[in-house]
Each structure stands twice: as structure tokens, then as C-alpha cells.
Structure 1
């Protein structure tokens, strides 16, 4: 089967010339590699021979491979390399010596045990930008504990706020802790690359903990506790302290309404036939509306329950009140706005079928992200990458015979 890349970059790539070695698996590290690859970085993904990254087999499988994998690993090259063997570690060091960025999300101490501590790698490659994502960070009393995204969400304060008051905390529905860590890691990589460019070419280590990435987006959680002793609690679909902002029932579903601006609130009340609330002096600002939020929510809910979702959206759209329905995957795929902004792309896989996948974010005007290559089979690029690193065909064949590569 032809595994040649089906995509070509039509515009200059912002990160062209940046070489990334990805030594992570599953979500956090690889999502960072995905993001860098979409903007032109050459991402070499090191996977264990045999099964490779477990994400290859997560959730729904088509033609033997997860469709999630097709998104997470596009624009990457796969090298199947056994890092438990010394010869595999030597090859990894050889690849890292020529890289700009190393991304890893092993438990702290794993790279050190393989002779790849930051100190050793920076002696080998002083300009290396090294991103380390872990559950609790590279320091501190919890550093050696195993950490997953869900645990980071709990420790970061997010899980306490998700769900209905008094009921079991629920997960967001996606691996948000891992993704937040990956995005913070990407910011760190780009910042460090810029610093390297303007400050003498020195690399550095970026230490991202899953729970800290979550904690960083927790808004006023700690300041409110510090200043007032208030512990913020779960509030279901409402936005505590901001009114009105909630989900409201319709005849055929739910609609989210954000009517918390002063002028927006007046337009919202006129639209639902409650101008008395819109004109109330004590509801002219957010503080007053918060004090009567249950009354306001009841009024909006009583109105919305008499209409379909689309009818509610039509009325509120005409009144210039922010509102939206709760989208499913089907809604997203059928929405013209998603397609108008290239947020749904058809991606050809190396297994011979096409699949619709999310587009690329953020959107750059001069150097937009692109899908240049489909996600690789395990070890698709082992020979090519090792040849680029200077190994001969005979050396590669010997490594394969020993099981060091696949």
C-alpha cells in the first residue's frame, strides 16, 4: 500500500526547520507534538516496537487503528525504537543531538535512568529545548507519584466544580487535563525557542505538571478563598456570580443563554416578554441580578420551555443576545460555520480510507497550519530517519535483527 504523504503545504510554515523528537505517548506530550507539527515542525515520534503508542488502540478502531490516532499523529514520522536497550538509548541520543526540541511525558526519573538527564542532553546539545510533562512536576514531594490527566483535574480544582450541587463530581467529557498541559507545554516550547534565538542559542527545560496546567485556568478560585474564605462549589450549568448565564430547557433540547451584560439583559427580558425585569432598578447591574438569579432563571426557563431550540435561537439572535444550542458531533459536522472556517477537513489515512477530522487552531494569516502527512503506521519512518542520522543500511539491518528497531 502506498504510504506516501497525501498532503502538501501550500504556504510557508511558521516552524519550518524546527526538528522535534517526541518521546511521549497517549495524550499530553503527543498533543504538543501534534500542534507543533501542524505549523511545520518536523516531528519524529519514537515508539516502542510491538504495539507502539497505546493511543493507536484507544476508543473506536477502523482498519486496525484508532481514528483518534489519525488526528493526534498527523504530520509526524514514526520511529520504532526500543529505549530499554542501550543501543536504542544511544540512537535516541543521536537523534536528540540534532533536534531543537525534545517532548517527553514519562514519570520523573525515567530519562535519567536511561542516561538522558537534562544536564547530559544539554552537554550533547546546548540549544535543546526540553519539554517535560508529568503528573506533579519534576520537583516537590509528589514528583514520583503516578499521575494521569483525571488526577490532575481533581488536584487542580476543576473536578470539584463540575457537576450538579451535592452530587458526585463528573469529568468534563474529554481529557481536558492532558490537553491543557499540552497547550501550556506548547507555549513553553515556543517561548523557549524565541529566547534561544535572541539570547545566544541556549536551550532550557520546561517543567509542566498536569495539575498546575489545570490550576492555571481556575480563574478566581484561590483569590476568593484568600480574600473572603469562600470555597467555590459546583453549580451545574450556571456561572456562579454572573447572571443570567445558564442552560435553559426547550421543547426539544437545551439552549445556553449568556445575558449577563447590562444592556444585553434588558434586550433579553424584552425578548422573553418580561420588560418589568429589564426595567427593574435593582437588576441594572450584575450584583443586583446575582441576588435575584433564581427568579431570573425561572423567568427565562418558563419562556424557553414553550419553544423549540431553533425558535429560541431565532428570537434571541434577532435581539442580539448571545445564545447557542448544545452541539453533538452530528451538529458540528452539519454546521455550515464549521465548514466555512475550515474546521472540518477530510484526511486520507495510510490505511486507504478518508475520515473527517478537526481543522487547525489557531489560524495564522501568513503561515497557517496544514496537514502535510497522514498519521504513520508503527515504524513507517524508521529507516529514513536513521539514514538521515548517518546510519548505514548495514547498521540499520543489524539493529533490526537485534530487535532494537522495527
Structure 2
């Protein structure tokens, strides 16, 4: 693991991460990567469910080692009053708290943002939920799958006349986590001027809504509803995915006017390259079926790498469809440092680096996701609890 030349940009900030699964923990992972001290509060015995999700080795999810990196695991039973008092003390000593429980849960526990307005007025309080903290849907459970649907994202993702398709990822959670990290950093910057914190309210469906480009103005201004379009993008031609002779796929983006000419010449269609009716995107949209048919017929006659080499030689954007094995074997991914190696029980494990890439103060992985509760005694001793106090809390299953 690399070492930063200078303190990382969030060095000195203390973050309390309360919540589980993906959106909140991903936001905490980003902050910890760039230098914040992230204390993750987990329920005793079970911990965050992510610890047991998907591919499990030696009793722990491989995903956890990535998502839990750089965090200090502290077990606290929030169902008990003593546990909630410990959480309150930790939040009172923090710069940021991240929570992604259903709206009203933190208030029920006596840990809502209003509780800290006087005791910790500089606190940045980030809240993640399916539908936000206000409005008629605030009370609804909001998993990523549901919020991706209502956001409009799922509607445009798929093929016409077929069921909408979801990516095989919880993209709504990850996008919400990114928005949360951005909102927190903006609130911290504002705090430098005002001296006070604020609430950052992130809804999963709104984070996905933020990706919808021109969908709203096109509907409001022209009554146009963006429909699903398979592997193409509505109104931009040609940009599509084509199958090659070796059964691999390539993505070709030939929608620039001069790029289109070079593409069609390389594909053996000078009549299309020089056709005035296809000289602009508007004309190409009208002839999308013919252009795609010509490119599909060309690609299926040649191996994917031949297509890529041919088009790269004439400066047409083109690339393969990678799976994870392809990524990890690619020299560009390697050169850009997109994989970091950690050690788990004496065995090496690669996890993804986190962008953005900062030239002077880059982020880094200091340690992989820790074992459950491994930092509990250390963190609670900083609150002034004695060894005997901590032992008693353990025996009472408060921590």
C-alpha cells in the first residue's frame, strides 16, 4: 500500500458511521480513504450484514475487506439506553455523523440532529434514506432497487417492449454514497466560514434522479418521454454495442461528424461516409437503423481485437466490454493503480482503489475491513472509560 507524501485532505476529521449495508458505509469508506478517522458503530455479535454477503472466505465477505477499509469497528447495542449514551458521547466528539436508518429512527433513539445543536454545533449530520427525511414517501422503506425504479433510471434502462433491466450492482446505494461524501465535504467547507454544521439529506431516489440528464426539460419543453433504447442512446447516432466474429462485443462511439466519416470509411461504406444526408447527427438519427445494420454486419465478420485496432488507427472511439478478469489483466488499469493489495489472514487480496486521484494528497488503504469490534476498547477508553467499565459493558452485552 502506497504512502501519501502529505497529510490527506480529511486528516484530523472524526466521522461516526451509523448504519449498515451500502450507501452510508460507502460514503464512510470514501472519507476514510482520504484521511478521516472513521468509527463504524456496529451491533454486537452480528455486525454489519455486509460482513456475510456474497462471496465469503474464512467466515467473512470478501466485499467487507474493501468496504470496511480504514474504519475502526466499535460494537454498540443501540437498542439499550447505555448503548445509545455511548453513541451520543461519540457523536458529541465528532465532526461528522453518517446514518442511513429509516427516517425517525435516530430521533426515537434520542440521537437526532436537534440533540446536538447545542452540544456539538459544528457537527455535520449526514442522513441517507430511500426517499428523504421529508415528504409523503419519507416513511417508506427504500432499497436501491425500489428507488432506482421511481427515480426514472430503470425506465430508460433496457430494451423497448421488455421489462426494465437493472445493472447487476446496487448502483442506487453507490450513487447515494457518492452524493453523501460530496455533500459532507461541501458542508465542511461551509463550516470554515460559518463555524457551524448542518444536516445533509440524501435520498437514494434523488441521487439517481440526478443522473437523468435532459429527461425533465425534454418532457416539460417538448412533451417527449425518453424511452428505453437497448444498447443505444436516444438521439445520438451511431453509438452502440456490436458483436464480433469471436462472440465478444465492442462499443463504438462514432457520433461526431468527422468521426462518423472515418468510421464508415474504415467499415467499407464510403457511400455513407460521403452522404450529405448523414453529415450531421440529425440526419444520422433519421437513418439509425441503416447505419447500425451496416456496422453490425461489419463487426460480425471480424474478431473484436481487429475491429478495435482498425478503428483506433483512424481515431474512432472504440473499446471492449470487460469483465473483472479482463480489467485485472489490463496494463492500463495496472499503470493507473486501480488495484491495491491487502493481507487477509496471511493471504494477499486485491481490492479496488478509490478515485478521485489527487496529485499532492492521494487517498490510500491503510488496513482492510477489520474484525468485528476490534477497536471497541481503544475508542471507548478515549471517552474516559476504565478497563473495568469496559469489561462490565462487555459482560452486559452493551458493547
The answer, yes or no, to whether TM exceeds 0.5 is yes
* SS in structure 1 at match of 2:118: helix
Distance across 2 between alignment mates of 1:362 and 1:27 = 19
The answer to whether the aligner puts 1:186 opposite 2:181 as a matched pair is yes
User: How far is the alpha carbon of 1:357 from its aligned partner?
Assistant: 1.2
User: How far is the alpha carbon of 1:43 from its aligned partner?
Assistant: 0.2
User: How far is the alpha carbon of 1:11 from its aligned partner?
Assistant: 3.7
Contact 2:5 2:360 in 1 (8 A): no
Question: Could you state the TM-score of these two structures normalised by the residue count of structure 2?
Answer: 0.98
- Post-superposition Cα deviations, 1:198-241, rounded to whole Å, max 9, x if no partner, equal 22x10000001110000011111111111121111111100110
- Post-superposition Cα deviations, 1:58-94, rounded to whole Å, max 9, x if no partner, equal 1000111000111101000000110110000000010
Question: Could you state the TM-score of these two structures normalised by the residue count of structure 1?
Answer: 0.96
Distance across 1 between alignment mates of 2:179 and 2:276 = 44
Match of 2:380 in 1: 386
Residue 171 of structure 2, aligned match among 142, 159, 176: 176
User: How far is the alpha carbon of 1:9 from its aligned partner?
Assistant: 4.7
The answer to whether the aligner puts 1:272 opposite 2:267 as a matched pair is yes
The answer to whether the aligner puts 1:25 opposite 2:40 as a matched pair is no
Residue 249 of structure 2, aligned match among 254, 261, 283: 254
After the TM superposition, which segments of 4 or more aligned residues of structure 1 sit over 4 Å from their partners?
6-10
- Post-superposition Cα deviations, 1:347-394, rounded to whole Å, max 9, x if no partner, equal 212x33221111121100000010112211000000001111221111
Distance across 1 between alignment mates of 2:266 and 2:19 = 52
User: How far is the alpha carbon of 1:8 from its aligned partner?
Assistant: 5.5
The answer to whether the aligner puts 1:239 opposite 2:205 as a matched pair is no
Match of 1:404 in 2: 398
Alignment of 1:37-116 (within 5 A): 37-116=32-111
Query: How many equivalent residue pairs?
Result: 398
User: How far is the alpha carbon of 1:12 from its aligned partner?
Assistant: 2.0
Contact 1:22 1:33 in 2 (8 A): yes
Contact 1:8 1:371 in 2 (8 A): no
- Could you tell me which runs of 5 or more consecutive residues in structure 2 were left unpaired when the two chains were aligned: none
Match of 2:122 in 1: 127
* SS in structure 1 at match of 2:301: coil
Distance across 2 between alignment mates of 1:79 and 1:204 = 25
* SS in structure 2 at match of 1:404: coil
Distance across 2 between alignment mates of 1:134 and 1:119 = 18
Match of 2:355 in 1: 361
User: How far is the alpha carbon of 1:277 from its aligned partner?
Assistant: 0.7
Match of 1:3 in 2: none
Distance across 2 between alignment mates of 1:87 and 1:146 = 28
Match of 1:376 in 2: 370
Contact 2:30 2:181 in 1 (8 A): yes
Alignment of 1:118-157 (within 5 A): 118-157=113-152
Distance across 2 between alignment mates of 1:194 and 1:281 = 52
- Could you tell me which runs of 5 or more consecutive residues in structure 1 were left unpaired when the two chains were aligned: 1-5
Distance across 1 between alignment mates of 2:387 and 2:395 = 12
Distance across 2 between alignment mates of 1:390 and 1:10 = 33
Distance across 2 between alignment mates of 1:124 and 1:7 = 38
Distance across 1 between alignment mates of 2:397 and 2:111 = 21
Match of 2:335 in 1: 340
Contact 2:74 2:376 in 1 (8 A): yes
Contact 1:7 1:374 in 2 (8 A): no
The answer to whether the aligner puts 1:319 opposite 2:314 as a matched pair is yes
* SS in structure 1 at match of 2:46: coil
* SS in structure 2 at match of 1:131: strand
Contact 1:7 1:373 in 2 (8 A): no
* SS in structure 1 at match of 2:259: helix
Distance across 1 between alignment mates of 2:267 and 2:176 = 42
